């Protein structure tokens, strides 16, 4: 059976490829390190691809901090 892959996003996605490293926190002292890349961004979100899911779920809401350096 074919999946319905119709576009349902409210805002246009802008392609962007950036490396990503972080820590997914499950509880106060428990978490998993991950790495991957940002694939695209839009007004209300972004799409990331992680090398190993380590407990991530598709569509899961996450918070992250970034640091830009020159």
- The pLDDT value given to residue 15: 92
Q: Domain coordinates of the chain in residue numbers? A: 14-50
- The pLDDT value given to residue 8: 67
| Residue 60 token pair | 């899961």
What DSSP element (H or E) covers 18? Answer: strand 14-27
The number of residues in the chain equals 70
Decide which of 8 and 3 is more confident.
8
**What is the tens place of the pLDDT at every residue in 22-56?**
777 766 667 777 888 989 988 888 888 888 776 77
């Amino acid at each position: 059976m074919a999946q319905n892959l119709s576009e349902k996003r409210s805002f246009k996605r802008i392609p962007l490829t950036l490396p990503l490293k972080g820590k997914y926190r499950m509880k106060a002292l428990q978490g998993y390190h991950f790495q991957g890349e940002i694939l695209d961004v839009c007004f209300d979100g972004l799409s990331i691809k992680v090398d190993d899911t380590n407990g991530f779920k598709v569509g899961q809401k996450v918070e992250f901090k970034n640091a830009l350096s020159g």
